[in-house]
Amino acid sequence: MIFTSSTRDIPDASEMPRHVAIIMDGNGRWAKKRFLPRIAGHKRGVESVRSMVKACIDRGVEYLTVFAFSSENWRRPEDEVSFLMKLFISVLEAEIGKLNENGVRLKVVGDLSRFEPHLVELIQRGEALTAGNDRLTLTVAANYGGRWDIVQAVNRLSAEHPERAGNYVEADLAPYLSMAYAPEPDLFIRTGGEERISNFLLWQLAYTELYFTEQLWPAFDAAALDAAIASYRGRERRFGRTSQQLERPGSPAANDA
């Protein structure tokens, strides 16, 4: 399935975001406030992912994408990185069956080559088991970087189509990006108070509505998601057009947009 590109066409903007992408930040600070080790925050953060999956299904959100580990997170202390890898493994082991029962399709995007074989195998098994599900597509971005994604796409495109090198257009690259199976995110949420993209979906966020909240990820719940969706509903998604064009949807200018 080919999805509308926000820069080449005007995507349908429905009341409920079809795709929500989240930077789950603030686990360490959540733990610190409770005099707990940072890893306790990561553990608790998994609960928030679980509740977000349910909340998205209940609300009819079709795609939920969560940033679990960035290509820059390897710079963290070794023991924290190794805890995060173990946590990823244990969560996959415990949750894949339940995700499948709930009709969730699991996808993992990122450079898997740095992960240990057991983790890669679990990811592949989980993706294969849930491939036919269509209630919600849950994408976990792990060892993901927006720049990595664009570079790997360019490399694959140029290897497959060397004859067009020098003349590539957006539509040529799009199918090689790691989230080509999903529409572009409608709503981006970053918890934890920082207002930056941190090398998340650089290409795909071109026209996404951005929402930043001070809430720390382990404390982010369904009510917090509803607040983000309410903010999203108040936005005017113009995709380059003027407000007047949106007010008169039948007008010729809006039609040619």
- Please list the active-site residues: 25, 73
Nearer to Mg ion, 5 or 198 (CB): 198
Site for ligand IPE in 84-103 (CB under 6 A): 84
Nearer to Mg ion, 47 or 93 (CB): 47
Q: Taking CB under 6 A as the rule, does residue 21 contact ligand IPE?
A: no
Site for ligand IPE in 40-79 (CB under 6 A): 67-70, 73
* Distance of closest approach, residue 218 Cβ to ligand IPE, in angstroms: 9
Q: Taking CB under 5 A as the rule, does residue 25 contact Mg ion?
A: yes
Q: Which stretch binds ligand IPE (CB under 6 A): 4-12, 17-25, 52-60, 248-256?
A: 17-25
Q: Taking CB under 6 A as the rule, does residue 148 contact ligand IPE?
A: no
Nearer to Mg ion, 201 or 216 (CB): 216
Nearer to ligand IPE, 70 or 213 (CB): 70
Nearest-angstrom CA–CA distance, 159 and 161: 6
- Tell me which residue has its CB nearest to Mg ion: 25
Q: Taking CB under 6 A as the rule, does residue 116 contact ligand IPE?
A: no
* Distance of closest approach, residue 132 Cβ to ligand IPE, in angstroms: 28
Nearer to ligand IPE, 29 or 238 (CB): 29
Q: Taking CB under 6 A as the rule, does residue 28 contact ligand IPE?
A: yes
- Tell me which residue has its CB nearest to ligand IPE: 28
Pairing, β 63-70 against β 136-144: parallel
DSSP string, the chain: -PPPPTTTS-----SS-SEEEEE---HHHHHHHTT--HHHHHHHHHHHHHHHHHHHHHHT--EEEEEEEETTGGGS-HHHHHHHHHHHHHHHHHHHHHHHHTTEEEEEES-GGGS-HHHHHHHHHHHHHHTT--SEEEEEEEEE-HHHHHHHHHHHHHHH-GGGTT---HHHHGGGSTTTTSPPPSEEEE-SS----TTSSTTTTTTPEEEE-SS-GGG--HHHHHHHHHHHHT----TT--HHHHH-TTSHHHHH-
Which stretches of the chain bind ligand IPE, using CB under 6 A? 23-29, 67-70, 73, 84, 192, 194, 196, 198
